[in-house]
A and B are shown apart, each in its own frame.
Chain A
């Protein structure tokens, strides 16, 4: 039995006035899977994520989240749909004037009628879940990048949304913290049945967490592969996909020669 589809992206084209960043992208995300959007820098991964959560209006195509289109939803419908999405931003996007606990409490305050002590207890549980139990009272400026990302996940999970979007969760983190974050994502996905849509270009992360993935390519201006990341690594016939998974430099990249490194001799 295949799991229910929670996100449908159909024939999506996104551009900012000029030539499209990517075009005719279509895929489906199923309930409970960790779905990875991967590709090199500048191929439009983050823009695709922003289009999926309704921050960028696509030039063409539709995005259906949990059976509804965010672009068309207004008023209370839109609020209800947004309540069922969680987003972790690349830098954490924590509010600098609030402690971590207050950051996690904010969506609870906005979307529920829970009392303050109840909200505080839920925030404690969320921060405990991402391993930040002892940093609840800290300000975002007082914590490291990895902690900020985990706090970002805690805030995104505050309302137990069925879909979580993560933008570059492991970028810029050390291998140990990055592996810890990967484990956290798979634990939450397996434990709570939450669907994850993860944008990343970290190879190890993709292989560790991804159930399925799509790959975007800058040169092709679109999607060049879809499937299980391990399958793609081992059996893809597309040279760009193979190069990505095998960390090969593109064949036309200039080779560094020792003489090139001397400047102003």
Chain B
């Protein structure tokens, strides 16, 4: 047998280790050693040739007197004993009882809500002050964000808009065909796109592209203490960071919704052409049934959606915690919060427009 091969033997009430007790040996012997030590009174290490810290932790964990260790082995044991003594096992944190946990959760939620209200207030005040203040509106920043939130989203919006027009036209032509009413496909697609789907789909695109980018960008700035640096330099962080972003989102959204509407209608026209309807039939249907009111209502909604996405994205970024996961969490929060807010706002608009008879 190789001298260095680690082994253990139980001799009466003495557990004897031999060979090199290293990580590999510890893996093999740990459970055997634990059962052996339960029966033994002392542990003898006189035949141990090598010991690493993993082996030492195993031996010390057996909680029995360790005898006969050669000096170099005893030194390793001693170093690890001191290390283990300075690091007692952590007790898991006590969880709060149900009622207290509920209370603590409610207080946390209330604080978050109060923070959000304060943030909305701060943004509103900054927006109102901005036109009269030096550095209140930064045109260069605004143009950069308009480019990123608007222009750069065009290819994606055009692609999705066209596809959605095609899909809607195809799907609605199937039931309408049964009644010979395919000529009404443009009415259906036109109204649903202009009033609902155009703004909604554009808002979802913006939430995913721009809302998450705002949160990630501002979150990284918070983590790098750039926002603190701005505040200390006396620069209004809301005016410099948040306002141009919200303005850009609010201005770019109606344009994106319009692009969505137009490309959707083009997609639908293509399907109608494939079904054998001439271009003029489609336009005359649209002219008869669509009014400017439908379009403007949709674009107004889009602007409000844009402002909401900008607000939520920036809020998520600015309230990012410290630490490496913070930025990811902020981006997720921005997208989820943005989409939920859009759907809620859309519901509110639906009721409002219905009541107002628009």
B87 contacts which of A97, A132, A157, A192 (Cβ < 8 Å)? A132
For the complex, give the distance between the alpha carbons of A131 and B31 in Å: 29
Tell me if A124 is interfacial: C-beta within 8 Å of chain B.
Answer: yes
Interface of chain B, helix or strand or loop or mixed? Answer: helix
For the complex, give the distance between the alpha carbons of A108 and B23 in Å: 10
A133 contacts which of B23, B80, B86 (Cβ < 8 Å)? B86
A97-B325, A191-B79 as given contacts; A136 in contact with B84, CB under 8 Å: no
Tell me if A214 is interfacial: C-beta within 8 Å of chain B.
Answer: no
A96-B323, A133-B88, A141-B324 as given contacts; A121 in contact with B83, CB under 8 Å: no
Interface residues of B in 56-77 (CB under 8 A from A): 56-58, 61, 75-76
For the complex, give the distance between the alpha carbons of A160 and B324 in Å: 28
A96-B323, A121-B61 as given contacts; A126 in contact with B27, CB under 8 Å: no
Q: Is the CB of B30 within 8 A of A160?
A: no
Tell me if B233 is interfacial: C-beta within 8 Å of chain A.
Answer: no
Tell me if B358 is interfacial: C-beta within 8 Å of chain A.
Answer: no
Interface residues of A in 89-119 (CB under 8 A from B): 96-97, 101, 108, 112-115, 118
For the complex, give the distance between the alpha carbons of A183 and B54 in Å: 22
Q: Is the CB of B57 within 8 A of A122?
A: yes
- A132 contacts across to B, CB distance below 8 A: 87
For the complex, give the distance between the alpha carbons of A159 and B24 in Å: 10
B83 contacts which of A96, A120, A128 (Cβ < 8 Å)? A128
Q: Is the CB of B75 within 8 A of A125?
A: no
For the complex, give the distance between the alpha carbons of A202 and B61 in Å: 39
- B80 contacts across to A, CB distance below 8 A: 125, 129
For the complex, give the distance between the alpha carbons of A9 and B54 in Å: 31
B8 CB to nearest chain A CB (Å): 16
Tell me if A67 is interfacial: C-beta within 8 Å of chain B.
Answer: no
- A108 contacts across to B, CB distance below 8 A: 54
Tell me if B234 is interfacial: C-beta within 8 Å of chain A.
Answer: no
Q: Is the CB of A160 within 8 A of B86?
A: no
Q: Is the CB of A136 within 8 A of B30?
A: no
For the complex, give the distance between the alpha carbons of A136 and B93 in Å: 13
Tell me if A127 is interfacial: C-beta within 8 Å of chain B.
Answer: yes
B53 contacts which of A133, A141, A160 (Cβ < 8 Å)? A160
Tell me if B347 is interfacial: C-beta within 8 Å of chain A.
Answer: no
B52 contacts which of A97, A137, A160 (Cβ < 8 Å)? A160
Q: Is the CB of A128 within 8 A of B52?
A: no
Tell me if B90 is interfacial: C-beta within 8 Å of chain A.
Answer: yes
For the complex, give the distance between the alpha carbons of A140 and B89 in Å: 19
A118-B30, A141-B324, A160-B53 as given contacts; A128 in contact with B23, CB under 8 Å: no
Tell me if B94 is interfacial: C-beta within 8 Å of chain A.
Answer: no
B23 contacts which of A101, A112, A137 (Cβ < 8 Å)? A112
Q: B76, B90, B325 — which one has the most chain A CB atoms within 10 A of its CB?
A: B90
Tell me if A134 is interfacial: C-beta within 8 Å of chain B.
Answer: yes
Q: Is the CB of B323 within 8 A of A128?
A: no
With CB as the reference atom, state the residue of chain A lying closest to B53: A160
Q: Is the CB of A160 within 8 A of B23?
A: yes
Tell me if B26 is interfacial: C-beta within 8 Å of chain A.
Answer: yes
A126 contacts which of B30, B83, B85 (Cβ < 8 Å)? B83
For the complex, give the distance between the alpha carbons of A101 and B23 in Å: 18
- A137 contacts across to B, CB distance below 8 A: 90
- B57 contacts across to A, CB distance below 8 A: 118, 121-122, 124-125
For the complex, give the distance between the alpha carbons of A259 and B201 in Å: 60
Q: B24-35 interface mask toward A, CB cutoff 8 Å, 1 = contact, 0 = none?
A: 001100110000
Tell me if A139 is interfacial: C-beta within 8 Å of chain B.
Answer: yes
For the complex, give the distance between the alpha carbons of A191 and B325 in Å: 37
Q: Is the CB of B31 within 8 A of A115?
A: yes
For the complex, give the distance between the alpha carbons of A74 and B20 in Å: 28
B30 CB to nearest chain A CB (Å): 5
A128 CB to nearest chain B CB (Å): 3
For the complex, give the distance between the alpha carbons of A21 and B86 in Å: 44
A104 CB to nearest chain B CB (Å): 11
With CB as the reference atom, state the residue of chain B lying closest to A115: B30
- B111 contacts across to A, CB distance below 8 A: none
- B88 contacts across to A, CB distance below 8 A: 124, 133
For the complex, give the distance between the alpha carbons of A118 and B326 in Å: 32
Q: Is the CB of A114 within 8 A of B87?
A: no
For the complex, give the distance between the alpha carbons of A113 and B30 in Å: 10
With CB as the reference atom, state the residue of chain B lying closest to A127: B87
- B52 contacts across to A, CB distance below 8 A: 160
- A159 contacts across to B, CB distance below 8 A: 23, 54
Q: Is the CB of A113 within 8 A of B27?
A: yes
With CB as the reference atom, state the residue of chain A lying closest to B83: A128
Q: Is the CB of B53 within 8 A of A128?
A: no
Q: Is the CB of B83 within 8 A of A129?
A: yes
B323 contacts which of A114, A124, A139 (Cβ < 8 Å)? A139
Could you give 14 example pairs across A and B, Cβ below 8 Å? A96-B325, A97-B324, A97-B325, A122-B54, A124-B89, A127-B83, A128-B83, A129-B53, A131-B86, A132-B87, A140-B323, A141-B323, A159-B54, A160-B53
* CB-based closest 9 A-B pairs: A133-B87, A141-B323, A96-B324, A128-B83, A128-B87, A133-B86, A129-B83, A128-B86, A160-B52
Beyond the given A124-B87, A125-B87, A133-B86, please list 4 additional residue pairs across the A-B interface where CB-CB is below 8 A: A118-B30, A122-B53, A141-B321, A160-B22
B→A interface (CB under 8 Å): 22-23, 26-27, 30-31, 52-54, 56-58, 61, 75-76, 79-80, 82-90, 321-326
A→B interface (CB under 8 Å): 96-97, 101, 108, 112-115, 118, 120-122, 124-129, 131-134, 136-137, 139-141, 157, 159-160, 191-192
